[in-house]
Amino acid sequence: MDPVSELFVATGNEHKMVELRRLFPGIALRLPRELGESGRFEETGETYLDNALGKALHLYRGLGRPALADDSGLEVPALGGEPGVYSSRYGAVAGRKLADADRNALLLEKARELEDRRCRFVCCMVVVLTEVRFLVVQETCEGLLAAGPRGEGGFGYDPIVWLPERGVTVAELSDPEKDEVSHRGRAARRLLALLAAGRARG
Amino acid sequence: MDPVSELFVATGNEHKMVELRRLFPGIALRLPRELGESGRFEETGETYLDNALGKALHLYRGLGRPALADDSGLEVPALGGEPGVYSSRYGAVAGRKLADADRNALLLEKARELEDRRCRFVCCMVVVLTEVRFLVVQETCEGLLAAGPRGEGGFGYDPIVWLPERGVTVAELSDPEKDEVSHRGRAARRLLALLAAGRARG
Protein backbone atom coordinates (compact mmCIF):
# COMPACT_ATOMS: atom_id res chain seq x y z
CA MET A 1 0.00 0.00 0.00
CA ASP A 2 1.21 3.47 -0.85
CA PRO A 3 1.64 5.85 2.06
CA VAL A 4 -1.49 7.93 2.48
CA SER A 5 -0.48 11.56 2.15
CA GLU A 6 -3.92 13.12 1.81
CA LEU A 7 -7.49 12.36 2.75
CA PHE A 8 -10.69 14.12 1.75
CA VAL A 9 -12.86 14.75 4.76
CA ALA A 10 -16.63 14.40 4.68
CA THR A 11 -17.61 17.15 7.09
CA GLY A 12 -19.21 20.54 7.07
CA ASN A 13 -18.26 21.19 10.69
CA GLU A 14 -15.33 23.60 10.89
CA HIS A 15 -14.63 22.88 14.56
CA LYS A 16 -14.31 19.22 13.72
CA MET A 17 -11.97 20.01 10.82
CA VAL A 18 -9.69 22.02 13.14
CA GLU A 19 -9.51 19.06 15.53
CA LEU A 20 -8.95 16.56 12.76
CA ARG A 21 -6.06 18.61 11.34
CA ARG A 22 -4.41 18.52 14.79
CA LEU A 23 -5.02 14.78 15.05
CA PHE A 24 -3.60 13.86 11.62
CA PRO A 25 -0.45 15.99 11.50
CA GLY A 26 1.29 13.98 8.77
CA ILE A 27 -1.65 13.84 6.39
CA ALA A 28 -3.08 16.69 4.30
CA LEU A 29 -6.79 16.83 5.13
CA ARG A 30 -8.71 18.36 2.27
CA LEU A 31 -12.30 19.42 1.83
CA PRO A 32 -14.45 18.08 -1.02
CA ARG A 33 -15.23 21.61 -2.22
CA GLU A 34 -11.58 21.87 -3.30
CA LEU A 35 -12.57 19.44 -6.06
CA GLY A 36 -15.93 21.07 -6.68
CA GLU A 37 -17.88 18.51 -4.66
CA SER A 38 -20.31 19.65 -2.02
CA GLY A 39 -19.69 16.59 0.14
CA ARG A 40 -23.20 17.13 1.45
CA PHE A 41 -24.71 13.98 2.83
CA GLU A 42 -27.77 13.61 4.97
CA GLU A 43 -27.00 11.75 8.17
CA THR A 44 -30.05 9.57 8.40
CA GLY A 45 -28.36 6.47 9.81
CA GLU A 46 -29.34 4.77 13.03
CA THR A 47 -25.77 4.23 14.19
CA TYR A 48 -22.48 6.13 14.21
CA LEU A 49 -21.18 3.52 11.76
CA ASP A 50 -24.11 4.09 9.38
CA ASN A 51 -23.38 7.80 9.27
CA ALA A 52 -19.56 7.65 9.18
CA LEU A 53 -19.34 4.85 6.63
CA GLY A 54 -22.19 6.31 4.60
CA LYS A 55 -20.46 9.71 4.44
CA ALA A 56 -17.04 8.28 3.64
CA LEU A 57 -18.36 5.94 0.91
CA HIS A 58 -20.43 8.72 -0.62
CA LEU A 59 -17.41 11.01 -0.76
CA TYR A 60 -15.11 8.25 -2.03
CA ARG A 61 -17.51 7.46 -4.85
CA GLY A 62 -17.92 11.12 -5.74
CA LEU A 63 -14.20 11.89 -5.84
CA GLY A 64 -12.51 8.54 -6.42
CA ARG A 65 -10.03 9.59 -3.74
CA PRO A 66 -9.41 8.27 -0.21
CA ALA A 67 -12.01 9.68 2.14
CA LEU A 68 -12.27 10.14 5.90
CA ALA A 69 -15.46 10.65 7.87
CA ASP A 70 -16.41 10.55 11.49
CA ASP A 71 -19.67 10.50 13.31
CA SER A 72 -19.87 11.16 16.99
CA GLY A 73 -22.32 11.73 19.76
CA LEU A 74 -22.89 11.99 23.48
CA GLU A 75 -24.76 9.16 25.20
CA VAL A 76 -26.45 9.38 28.57
CA PRO A 77 -27.31 5.82 29.63
CA ALA A 78 -29.88 7.03 32.20
CA LEU A 79 -31.70 8.79 29.34
CA GLY A 80 -31.78 5.59 27.28
CA GLY A 81 -28.62 6.60 25.44
CA GLU A 82 -29.95 9.99 24.32
CA PRO A 83 -28.99 12.13 22.50
CA GLY A 84 -26.67 9.48 20.98
CA VAL A 85 -26.56 9.23 17.22
CA TYR A 86 -28.95 12.20 17.04
CA SER A 87 -26.61 14.42 19.08
CA SER A 88 -26.15 17.18 16.53
CA ARG A 89 -29.90 17.30 15.80
CA TYR A 90 -30.96 17.09 19.45
CA GLY A 91 -33.85 19.47 20.04
CA ALA A 92 -33.98 20.49 16.38
CA VAL A 93 -37.35 21.79 15.18
CA ALA A 94 -38.32 21.30 11.53
CA GLY A 95 -34.72 20.46 10.64
CA ARG A 96 -33.40 23.66 12.22
CA LYS A 97 -30.57 22.73 14.58
CA LEU A 98 -30.13 24.40 17.95
CA ALA A 99 -27.01 26.39 18.79
CA ASP A 100 -24.53 24.46 20.96
CA ALA A 101 -25.41 26.43 24.10
CA ASP A 102 -29.15 25.87 23.68
CA ARG A 103 -28.65 22.19 23.04
CA ASN A 104 -26.52 21.88 26.16
CA ALA A 105 -29.15 23.70 28.23
CA LEU A 106 -31.84 21.39 26.88
CA LEU A 107 -29.89 18.26 27.78
CA LEU A 108 -29.06 19.52 31.28
CA GLU A 109 -32.72 20.34 31.82
CA LYS A 110 -33.74 16.81 30.80
CA ALA A 111 -31.05 15.41 33.07
CA ARG A 112 -31.89 17.65 36.04
CA GLU A 113 -33.37 14.94 38.24
CA LEU A 114 -30.94 12.20 37.25
CA GLU A 115 -28.96 10.46 39.96
CA ASP A 116 -26.85 8.51 37.49
CA ARG A 117 -25.15 11.32 35.57
CA ARG A 118 -22.67 9.13 33.67
CA CYS A 119 -22.23 9.98 30.03
CA ARG A 120 -19.85 9.10 27.23
CA PHE A 121 -18.73 10.62 24.00
CA VAL A 122 -18.54 8.12 21.14
CA CYS A 123 -16.66 8.60 17.88
CA CYS A 124 -16.81 6.26 14.91
CA MET A 125 -14.18 7.10 12.31
CA VAL A 126 -13.95 5.53 8.87
CA VAL A 127 -11.41 5.75 6.06
CA VAL A 128 -12.30 4.39 2.64
CA LEU A 129 -9.00 3.91 0.80
CA THR A 130 -10.21 1.94 -2.24
CA GLU A 131 -13.23 -0.13 -3.27
CA VAL A 132 -11.93 -2.90 -1.02
CA ARG A 133 -9.92 -1.15 1.67
CA PHE A 134 -11.72 0.16 4.73
CA LEU A 135 -10.56 1.24 8.14
CA VAL A 136 -13.17 1.49 10.88
CA VAL A 137 -12.63 2.38 14.53
CA GLN A 138 -14.94 3.41 17.35
CA GLU A 139 -13.75 4.92 20.62
CA THR A 140 -15.27 6.54 23.68
CA CYS A 141 -14.51 9.16 26.33
CA GLU A 142 -16.27 8.62 29.66
CA GLY A 143 -17.48 11.44 31.91
CA LEU A 144 -20.31 12.82 34.03
CA LEU A 145 -22.87 15.45 33.10
CA ALA A 146 -21.81 18.73 34.73
CA ALA A 147 -24.21 20.84 36.82
CA GLY A 148 -23.80 23.66 34.31
CA PRO A 149 -21.64 24.60 31.31
CA ARG A 150 -18.00 25.43 32.04
CA GLY A 151 -15.04 26.27 29.81
CA GLU A 152 -14.42 27.99 26.51
CA GLY A 153 -12.52 25.32 24.57
CA GLY A 154 -13.78 22.60 22.27
CA PHE A 155 -17.30 22.66 20.84
CA GLY A 156 -20.63 20.87 21.01
CA TYR A 157 -21.29 19.18 24.33
CA ASP A 158 -17.74 19.75 25.64
CA PRO A 159 -18.76 22.36 28.28
CA ILE A 160 -21.20 20.04 30.02
CA VAL A 161 -19.10 16.86 30.16
CA TRP A 162 -17.06 16.73 33.36
CA LEU A 163 -14.06 14.40 33.62
CA PRO A 164 -13.79 13.11 37.22
CA GLU A 165 -10.11 12.18 37.00
CA ARG A 166 -9.19 15.67 35.77
CA GLY A 167 -11.74 17.69 37.74
CA VAL A 168 -12.66 19.82 34.72
CA THR A 169 -15.04 19.77 31.78
CA VAL A 170 -13.78 18.83 28.33
CA ALA A 171 -14.14 22.50 27.34
CA GLU A 172 -11.70 23.46 30.13
CA LEU A 173 -8.92 21.31 28.67
CA SER A 174 -6.19 22.68 26.43
CA ASP A 175 -6.22 21.34 22.88
CA PRO A 176 -3.44 18.80 23.52
CA GLU A 177 -5.14 17.68 26.74
CA LYS A 178 -8.43 17.23 24.93
CA ASP A 179 -6.81 15.27 22.11
CA GLU A 180 -5.21 12.94 24.65
CA VAL A 181 -8.49 11.86 26.26
CA SER A 182 -11.19 12.61 23.73
CA HIS A 183 -13.17 10.03 21.78
CA ARG A 184 -11.97 11.65 18.55
CA GLY A 185 -8.34 11.71 19.69
CA ARG A 186 -8.40 8.04 20.61
CA ALA A 187 -10.11 7.11 17.34
CA ALA A 188 -7.58 9.12 15.31
CA ARG A 189 -4.61 7.42 16.99
CA ARG A 190 -6.06 4.00 16.28
CA LEU A 191 -6.66 4.97 12.65
CA LEU A 192 -3.12 6.28 12.31
CA ALA A 193 -1.81 2.99 13.68
CA LEU A 194 -3.89 1.07 11.14
CA LEU A 195 -2.65 3.29 8.33
CA ALA A 196 0.94 2.76 9.49
CA ALA A 197 0.44 -1.01 9.70
CA GLY A 198 -0.89 -1.05 6.16
CA ARG A 199 2.13 0.93 5.00
CA ALA A 200 4.50 -1.50 6.72
CA ARG A 201 2.85 -4.48 5.05
CA GLY A 202 2.54 -2.92 1.63
CA MET B 1 -36.82 -0.24 9.88
CA ASP B 2 -38.77 -2.99 8.16
CA PRO B 3 -38.10 -6.51 9.39
CA VAL B 4 -35.41 -8.10 7.27
CA SER B 5 -36.92 -11.24 5.78
CA GLU B 6 -34.27 -12.01 3.18
CA LEU B 7 -30.61 -11.34 2.56
CA PHE B 8 -28.51 -12.01 -0.51
CA VAL B 9 -25.28 -13.71 0.41
CA ALA B 10 -21.98 -12.92 -1.27
CA THR B 11 -20.34 -16.32 -1.22
CA GLY B 12 -19.39 -19.07 -3.58
CA ASN B 13 -18.60 -21.45 -0.73
CA GLU B 14 -21.37 -24.02 -0.35
CA HIS B 15 -20.16 -25.20 3.06
CA LYS B 16 -20.37 -21.66 4.31
CA MET B 17 -23.86 -21.28 2.87
CA VAL B 18 -25.03 -24.40 4.74
CA GLU B 19 -23.68 -22.97 7.99
CA LEU B 20 -25.16 -19.55 7.38
CA ARG B 21 -28.61 -21.03 6.72
CA ARG B 22 -28.42 -22.80 10.09
CA LEU B 23 -27.31 -19.58 11.77
CA PHE B 24 -30.04 -17.32 10.32
CA PRO B 25 -33.12 -19.53 10.70
CA GLY B 26 -35.67 -16.71 10.42
CA ILE B 27 -34.19 -15.10 7.32
CA ALA B 28 -34.29 -16.41 3.75
CA LEU B 29 -30.68 -16.45 2.57
CA ARG B 30 -30.53 -16.19 -1.20
CA LEU B 31 -27.76 -16.47 -3.72
CA PRO B 32 -27.05 -13.69 -6.23
CA ARG B 33 -27.38 -16.10 -9.15
CA GLU B 34 -31.12 -16.28 -8.35
CA LEU B 35 -31.24 -12.74 -9.74
CA GLY B 36 -28.80 -13.44 -12.54
CA GLU B 37 -25.81 -11.92 -10.74
CA SER B 38 -22.59 -13.86 -10.46
CA GLY B 39 -21.74 -12.29 -7.12
CA ARG B 40 -18.10 -12.92 -8.02
CA PHE B 41 -15.75 -10.62 -6.23
CA GLU B 42 -12.02 -10.92 -5.89
CA GLU B 43 -10.96 -10.92 -2.26
CA THR B 44 -7.90 -8.73 -2.48
CA GLY B 45 -8.31 -6.92 0.82
CA GLU B 46 -5.75 -6.80 3.56
CA THR B 47 -8.23 -7.34 6.36
CA TYR B 48 -11.34 -9.41 7.01
CA LEU B 49 -13.30 -6.17 7.04
CA ASP B 50 -11.94 -5.17 3.62
CA ASN B 51 -13.11 -8.44 2.13
CA ALA B 52 -16.45 -8.75 3.91
CA LEU B 53 -17.49 -5.13 3.43
CA GLY B 54 -16.13 -5.10 -0.12
CA LYS B 55 -18.15 -8.20 -1.02
CA ALA B 56 -21.33 -7.01 0.65
CA LEU B 57 -21.16 -3.52 -0.90
CA HIS B 58 -20.43 -4.95 -4.33
CA LEU B 59 -23.42 -7.26 -4.08
CA TYR B 60 -25.67 -4.55 -2.64
CA ARG B 61 -24.81 -2.23 -5.51
CA GLY B 62 -25.34 -4.95 -8.10
CA LEU B 63 -28.73 -6.05 -6.79
CA GLY B 64 -30.05 -3.07 -4.87
CA ARG B 65 -31.09 -5.55 -2.18
CA PRO B 66 -29.80 -6.14 1.38
CA ALA B 67 -26.60 -8.15 1.24
CA LEU B 68 -24.67 -10.30 3.71
CA ALA B 69 -21.03 -11.28 3.44
CA ASP B 70 -18.49 -12.77 5.74
CA ASP B 71 -14.75 -13.17 5.60
CA SER B 72 -12.95 -15.46 7.94
CA GLY B 73 -9.57 -16.95 8.58
CA LEU B 74 -7.36 -18.86 10.97
CA GLU B 75 -4.57 -16.96 12.70
CA VAL B 76 -1.51 -18.52 14.32
CA PRO B 77 0.19 -15.79 16.38
CA ALA B 78 3.48 -17.74 16.52
CA LEU B 79 3.51 -17.70 12.70
CA GLY B 80 3.01 -13.94 12.61
CA GLY B 81 -0.75 -14.34 12.27
CA GLU B 82 -0.55 -16.60 9.21
CA PRO B 83 -2.52 -17.73 7.30
CA GLY B 84 -4.92 -15.01 8.53
CA VAL B 85 -6.75 -13.04 5.90
CA TYR B 86 -5.12 -15.24 3.23
CA SER B 87 -6.49 -18.43 4.81
CA SER B 88 -8.45 -19.69 1.82
CA ARG B 89 -5.56 -18.98 -0.55
CA TYR B 90 -2.88 -20.39 1.77
CA GLY B 91 -0.37 -22.40 -0.30
CA ALA B 92 -2.10 -21.51 -3.58
CA VAL B 93 0.11 -21.66 -6.67
CA ALA B 94 -0.71 -19.39 -9.62
CA GLY B 95 -4.16 -18.71 -8.19
CA ARG B 96 -4.97 -22.41 -7.88
CA LYS B 97 -6.21 -23.07 -4.35
CA LEU B 98 -5.22 -26.15 -2.41
CA ALA B 99 -7.81 -28.69 -1.25
CA ASP B 100 -8.71 -28.33 2.45
CA ALA B 101 -6.72 -31.44 3.46
CA ASP B 102 -3.57 -30.27 1.65
CA ARG B 103 -3.83 -26.80 3.14
CA ASN B 104 -4.19 -28.28 6.61
CA ALA B 105 -1.16 -30.52 6.07
CA LEU B 106 0.86 -27.52 4.87
CA LEU B 107 -0.02 -25.47 7.94
CA LEU B 108 0.72 -28.31 10.36
CA GLU B 109 4.08 -28.84 8.65
CA LYS B 110 4.95 -25.14 9.06
CA ALA B 111 3.84 -25.32 12.69
CA ARG B 112 5.67 -28.57 13.45
CA GLU B 113 8.35 -27.03 15.67
CA LEU B 114 6.11 -24.50 17.37
CA GLU B 115 5.87 -24.51 21.14
CA ASP B 116 3.13 -21.90 21.19
CA ARG B 117 0.37 -23.65 19.24
CA ARG B 118 -2.39 -21.16 20.03
CA CYS B 119 -4.61 -20.25 17.11
CA ARG B 120 -7.89 -18.48 16.57
CA PHE B 121 -10.58 -18.42 13.96
CA VAL B 122 -11.77 -14.92 13.10
CA CYS B 123 -15.00 -14.04 11.32
CA CYS B 124 -15.98 -10.58 10.14
CA MET B 125 -19.59 -10.42 9.03
CA VAL B 126 -21.22 -7.47 7.29
CA VAL B 127 -24.77 -6.65 6.30
CA VAL B 128 -25.45 -3.74 3.97
CA LEU B 129 -29.13 -2.86 4.38
CA THR B 130 -29.24 0.44 2.48
CA GLU B 131 -26.82 3.12 1.27
CA VAL B 132 -26.57 4.30 4.88
CA ARG B 133 -27.30 1.25 7.00
CA PHE B 134 -24.45 -1.10 7.81
CA LEU B 135 -23.99 -3.80 10.40
CA VAL B 136 -20.44 -4.97 11.09
CA VAL B 137 -19.32 -7.54 13.65
CA GLN B 138 -16.11 -9.47 14.18
CA GLU B 139 -15.80 -12.48 16.46
CA THR B 140 -13.21 -15.14 17.28
CA CYS B 141 -12.99 -18.76 18.38
CA GLU B 142 -9.80 -19.64 20.29
CA GLY B 143 -8.04 -23.01 20.09
CA LEU B 144 -4.76 -24.86 19.68
CA LEU B 145 -3.31 -26.39 16.54
CA ALA B 146 -3.88 -30.16 16.72
CA ALA B 147 -1.08 -32.67 16.15
CA GLY B 148 -2.95 -33.99 13.13
CA PRO B 149 -6.38 -33.68 11.50
CA ARG B 150 -9.32 -35.22 13.35
CA GLY B 151 -13.05 -35.29 12.70
CA GLU B 152 -15.37 -35.30 9.71
CA GLY B 153 -17.59 -32.30 10.44
CA GLY B 154 -17.25 -28.70 9.38
CA PHE B 155 -14.83 -27.64 6.63
CA GLY B 156 -11.62 -25.74 6.00
CA TYR B 157 -9.28 -25.72 8.98
CA ASP B 158 -11.84 -27.26 11.37
CA PRO B 159 -10.05 -30.68 11.63
CA ILE B 160 -6.79 -29.15 12.88
CA VAL B 161 -8.14 -26.70 15.46
CA TRP B 162 -8.41 -28.35 18.87
CA LEU B 163 -10.62 -26.81 21.57
CA PRO B 164 -9.00 -27.40 25.00
CA GLU B 165 -12.20 -26.94 27.03
CA ARG B 166 -14.03 -29.53 24.89
CA GLY B 167 -11.13 -31.92 24.21
CA VAL B 168 -12.01 -32.25 20.52
CA THR B 169 -11.31 -30.52 17.23
CA VAL B 170 -13.91 -28.23 15.68
CA ALA B 171 -14.52 -30.94 13.06
CA GLU B 172 -15.46 -33.38 15.84
CA LEU B 173 -18.30 -31.17 17.05
CA SER B 174 -21.92 -31.67 16.01
CA ASP B 175 -23.39 -28.83 13.98
CA PRO B 176 -25.22 -27.26 16.97
CA GLU B 177 -22.07 -27.58 19.10
CA LYS B 178 -19.98 -25.91 16.41
CA ASP B 179 -22.48 -23.09 15.99
CA GLU B 180 -22.40 -22.46 19.74
CA VAL B 181 -18.63 -21.85 19.90
CA SER B 182 -17.56 -20.97 16.39
CA HIS B 183 -16.41 -17.56 15.21
CA ARG B 184 -19.20 -17.60 12.60
CA GLY B 185 -21.83 -18.66 15.12
CA ARG B 186 -20.87 -15.88 17.51
CA ALA B 187 -20.81 -13.31 14.70
CA ALA B 188 -24.22 -14.43 13.43
CA ARG B 189 -25.81 -14.12 16.88
CA ARG B 190 -24.45 -10.60 17.28
CA LEU B 191 -25.76 -9.67 13.84
CA LEU B 192 -29.18 -11.09 14.62
CA ALA B 193 -29.25 -9.04 17.82
CA LEU B 194 -28.38 -5.90 15.84
CA LEU B 195 -31.08 -6.67 13.28
CA ALA B 196 -33.60 -7.21 16.07
CA ALA B 197 -32.57 -3.95 17.78
CA GLY B 198 -33.07 -2.06 14.53
CA ARG B 199 -36.50 -3.63 14.14
CA ALA B 200 -37.47 -2.63 17.67
CA ARG B 201 -36.41 0.97 17.07
CA GLY B 202 -37.98 1.30 13.62
Q: Which of B70, B71, B100, B158 is catalytic?
A: B71
**B57–A57 CB contact, under 8 Å:** yes
Structure confidence at residue A116 as a pLDDT band (50, 70, 90): very high
A121-131: average pLDDT:
96
State residue B44's pLDDT score.
Answer: 81
Higher pLDDT, A44 or B117: B117
Q: Per-domain residue ranges for chain A?
A: 6-201
**B133–A50 CB contact, under 8 Å:** yes
Triad B161, B48, B113: Cα angle to 5°? 35
Contacts of B133 in chain A (CB under 8 A): 45-46, 50
Which of A42, A51, A132 to mutate against chain B (most B CBs within 10 Å)? A132
State residue B15's pLDDT score.
Answer: 87
Triad A38, A58, B61: Cα angle to 5°? 145
Structure confidence at residue A35 as a pLDDT band (50, 70, 90): confident
State residue B174's pLDDT score.
Answer: 97
d(CA B80, CA B93): 21
Q: Mean pLDDT of all residues in chain B?
A: 93
Instruction: Name beta bridge partners: A119.
Output: A143
Residue A40 to residues A16, A55, A128, B128, Cα–Cα distance (Å) = 15, 8, 17, 21
CB B80 within 8 A of CB B89: no
Q: Per-residue pLDDT for B19 more than 50?
A: yes
Which of B124, B134, B136, B138 to mutate against chain A (most A CBs within 10 Å)? B134
Architecture category of domain B6-201 in CATH: Alpha-Beta Complex (3.90)
d(CA B67, CA B110): 37
B102 is catalytic: no
State residue B1's pLDDT score.
Answer: 54
Q: How far is CA B63 from the centre of its chain?
A: 22
A178-189: average pLDDT:
97
A145-171: average pLDDT:
96
Q: Per-residue pLDDT for A197 more than 70?
A: yes
Structure confidence at residue A130 as a pLDDT band (50, 70, 90): very high
B173-199: average pLDDT:
94
The backbone torsions φ and ψ at residue A11, rounded to the nearest 5 degrees and listed phi first, read -155, 150
